[in-house]
Amino acid sequence: MTTRWLALFAALPVTAAALSAQKLQETPQNLTPEQMEARLHYQTGHVKLRGGLATLELPPEFRYLDPRETGLVIRAWGNPPDSETLGMIVPAGLGVFDRESWAVVISYDEDGFVKDDDAATINYNDLLGKMQRGIRQANEERRRQGYPAIDLVGWAEQPRYDAATHKLYWAKDLHFGTEPVHTLNYNIRVLGRRGVLVLNAVATMDQLATVRRDMGKVIAFVDFAEGNRYADFVPGTDKVAEYGIAALIAGSIAAKAGFFKLLLAGIIALKKVIVVALVAIGAFFKRIFGKKKEAPVAS
């Protein structure tokens, strides 16, 4: 196993009871990665998310895990047990514990209809600078709390917004502490009537070409279902979000130090722990950024 993976599970004997779904959910640490992988139920083809909120039309190259099993995997990766998702997309042919593996964790922010009228005027170099300054300012507190400093090195993929499909994507090059390997955080956002589908992938920077290629396919097959799409918005009735496109991007990494209590001590060795943490801290920052779009990224 590479340094991206911790010793995820203790190699303990597994009783018959431990193999039940309930026991698996309660004590995934009792299983080895191989044992847990064998008990996952991957789905293919057409998949409905959250009772029909959105859909996936998975090509043969991808598989899906439902929210319950995604929760088990996320816990095994070192994230908090109460993380809520809509599931996970995994490249076919790779297990979630393979050293070459990466995955896309799906969640939903029901903050309202996000206006995209700022998309064409965003200066992404300027936005990057604000994000970098905000992260540097927060690093002092992170160090005091015993967490590694974060360096936003730059865009691994500059943000792009498709006004026709209302889909946004970008990627960041991140560096944690003194870790020699840089982390790739690839993001997709799909705007809808009442909120945003959030898709986060975390890998290492040497996987950029593969992740970029495959995330281009993911963008195409994920969408809101009819009635929940961007075009279905009802002015005067549906809630409007307090932030725009710029905050969707900034909110995925900028953070107040307190949120880093979600991160475990193994964050340097286990990059995937930041998948859920980035979602949580992003929600906080979007509120700050959305209220004063001209204000500095960090307060």
- Coil vs helix vs strand at 12: coil
Q: What is the mean pLDDT of residues 43-57?
A: 97
DSSP code of residue 149: P
Instruction: Give the other-Cβ count within 10 Å of 150's Cβ.
Output: 20
Q: What is the pLDDT of residues 7-31, one digit of tens each?
A: 222 222 222 222 233 434 444 567 8
Supply the pLDDT for residue 170. 96
Supply the pLDDT for residue 253. 46
Q: Is the predicted pLDDT of residue 266 greater than 70, yes or no?
A: no
Spatial distance between the Cα atoms of 170 and 179, rounded to a whole number of angstroms: 23
Supply the pLDDT for residue 69. 94
User: Mean pLDDT, the chain, as a whole number?
Assistant: 77
Supply the pLDDT for residue 14. 29
Supply the pLDDT for residue 226. 97
Q: Which residue spans within the chain are E strands per DSSP?
A: 46-49, 54-57, 62-65, 87-91, 104-109, 150-162, 167-176, 183-191, 196-204, 222-224
Spatial distance between the Cα atoms of 235 and 282, rounded to a whole number of angstroms: 26
Q: Is the predicted pLDDT of residue 150 greater than 80, yes or no?
A: yes
Q: Which of 8-22, 59-73, 144-158 has the lowest mean pLDDT?
A: 8-22
Residue 224 backbone zone (phi > 0: left; psi -120 to 50: alpha; other: beta)? beta
Q: What is the pLDDT of residues 242-264, one digit of tens each?
A: 889 998 898 754 333 233 333 32
Spatial distance between the Cα atoms of 259 and 262, rounded to a whole number of angstroms: 6
Q: Is the predicted pLDDT of residue 232 greater than 90, yes or no?
A: yes
Q: What is the mean pLDDT of residues 131-137?
A: 84
- Minimal CA–CA distance to 189: which of 134, 116, 101? 116
- Minimal CA–CA distance to 122: which of 161, 153, 170? 161
Give me the residue spans of the domains in the chain.
17-291
Spatial distance between the Cα atoms of 36 and 9, rounded to a whole number of angstroms: 9
Q: What is the pTM of this model?
A: 0.78
Q: What is the mean pLDDT of residues 107-119?
A: 94
Supply the pLDDT for residue 33. 83
| DSSP H or E run through 258 | none
Q: Is the predicted pLDDT of residue 189 greater than 80, yes or no?
A: yes
Q: Is the predicted pLDDT of residue 70 greater than 80, yes or no?
A: yes
Supply the pLDDT for residue 28. 56
Q: Does domain 17-291 have CATH number 3.40.605.10?
A: no
Q: What is the mean pLDDT of residues 63-76?
A: 90
Supply the pLDDT for residue 162. 97
